[in-house]
A and B are shown apart, each in its own frame.
Chain A
């Protein structure tokens, strides 16, 4: 009976490193892809709605109506475009030429000057519900401010309210998206690379060869995963440097805490890749499964863009299964907030539990396969 030996694990790792360094494909995936993705999406992801095309029809043509429209266009949120008839306004929304149509009725000026409240009609394209919500909020803000200006309200002016955005005072989209994309890239690399390489080993039969030696399954798993963990850590470091130096992101947390979280996350996701390859064996299906799991839940259920808090309860539970959802919280926190390990204990423990479950599935499945 032999026990676990690090020397055998390292022997397998060394072999795996050779594979990686001789395969330009894997190397490219590990180094070039993360850089490319971060740079491209760092620039592309701008969530703030600016210059939304809005058409308007001003039948009043008074000072008040002009001042209102002036306020809208100077806000930078909207780009106004005049139309000649309500029909044309409707048509411009339907044909996606503008996102909203604002109709200022005649007598607008006269009515508000004589303290008669007046309605401005706004038609908003609801097909993109998020954008519609933002447009609506901006419009209400602008008109509210104007109402207050015209007819000053003592209660409102005696209680001025000031909003302060903490951790990202300028609401820089990049501060939000780059840590997110870092997590997504790591998750995808982990599942894709491991599921691929290990499935390849099964297909070629070299896994059977390894198993016929006295090497323990756990040694094989650790030995195989170690190089990919290293590879991933290297790509995390590259992305980190890029984020700090190129995109000027702050890092307010502790590097040790972050690295610790990285390891837990990597363990879970590498195990996920391993589990996929052990269960599906065949390269083709393993890749497809890894692709679908890597692409969709990682992008959509992780809170990367769509906040998990907005999901119905059951789906929040579903999202919680994926360690990536917790790692997303930890990464963003470490970049922007800098909480301590104790404050982050919940997401880290949750991620740890998910990782342990995934590792056990992989090991059990792997062992079961040997019999």
Chain B
């Protein structure tokens, strides 16, 4: 066994990618920037709901309701220029309108009930549901006088692992996965096509060199860069967003290593079937776009129809998200982690095998 070639490859790849200022930024700056921007920006908690109330003047119950709603932090008062509740929503001035037509609410009796109508803009169906439940909860509280003794069955909920229900706890592990994927797949999918287009592939192939030497020579540098990257992003997650890394760091490293291996293998497989850089780019896009959407970050995997679930299950990012959340937030359930690591590894091995099979050391 002679390691000279492999060492030479690794050295060369590092020199090339670390010297280029655009690459430097792409590899080190961009990931941190993305993590911070998206980590801070994205929030699942429905806030700033524009609410308009259409009621008789001086309705104390409704006044109480409004005060409560505004104090909850979820709602803001909509600036309404119209008198028609429907139009206020149609124009986008309000997202929810509370409408009480005939009487004041306090005048309601069992014989003459005063119905309260809640109009919600359901253009965003997700947000609409959240709005409804907030409104109902606050209305319930207002009407029952928030007297907890009147509620017989109380729920004592305890949110485990993420008591303040921070979106970032959910988001950051997934973002780390996306960032690793972007780096590894984008970089390695170019690995062979760039050499082929520059003509340097001929020089490489004109030497008596083994397949595994070339493939590993390309794979190892990307792997190491991605490893540095995942360390940086994880640290940023812990420092900037206060993600509690409760699980074992060893297990975490194992998962990251497996995931990096697999995404590098996918990148290399894309590279071996592409003739040009443009094709490689398209290839990685065709992997990255569905992988991002189907990973469970944007919408839950559980709700997908069965035939779509298959795609989610062969998406390494889905499994990565499962495990990362499990380890980082829950401390890691060994059996659970190992099963999903196994799936990721399996995808990686298949990709690697395909890459190895497709790669020719002759130019045919």
Contact = CB atoms under 8 A, between A and B. Distances in A.
A25 interface: yes
A310 interface: yes
Given A96-B322, A307-B46, A312-B40, A161 B304 contact: no
B214 interface: no
B299 A305 contact: yes
Contact of A156 (B143, B194, B303): B143
Contacts of B148: 117
Interface string B102-135: 0001001110111111111111111111101101
Contacts of A364: none
A163 B89 CA distance: 14
A284 B125 contact: no
Contact of A161 (B49, B92, B118, B289): B118
Interface residues of B, number: 112
Interface residues of A, number: 110
B208 interface: no
Contacts of B293: 41, 44, 299
B363 interface: no
Nearest to A44: B308
Contacts of B303: 46-50
Interface string A167-178: 111011101110
Contact of B169 (A48, A129, A146): A129
A84 B154 CA distance: 23
A204 interface: no
Interface string A91-107: 10111100000000000
Contacts of A350: none
A158 B302 contact: no
Interface string B164-199: 011101100000001000100010001000100000
5 contacts: A123-B160, A126-B329, A127-B162, A295-B292, A296-B38
Given A132-B159, A164-B117, A310-B45, 17 more contacts: A47-B303, A51-B302, A93-B160, A121-B157, A122-B156, A124-B158, A129-B165, A143-B154, A161-B117, A161-B136, A176-B126, A280-B22, A285-B26, A291-B285, A295-B292, A305-B126, A329-B92
Interface of B: 22, 26, 30, 34, 37-38, 40-49, 86, 89-92, 105, 108-110, 112-130, 132-133, 135-137, 139-140, 143-145, 148-163, 165-167, 169-170, 178, 182, 186, 190, 194, 277-279, 281-282, 284-285, 288-290, 292-294, 298-300, 302-305, 307-308, 311, 322, 325-326, 329-331, 333, 335-336
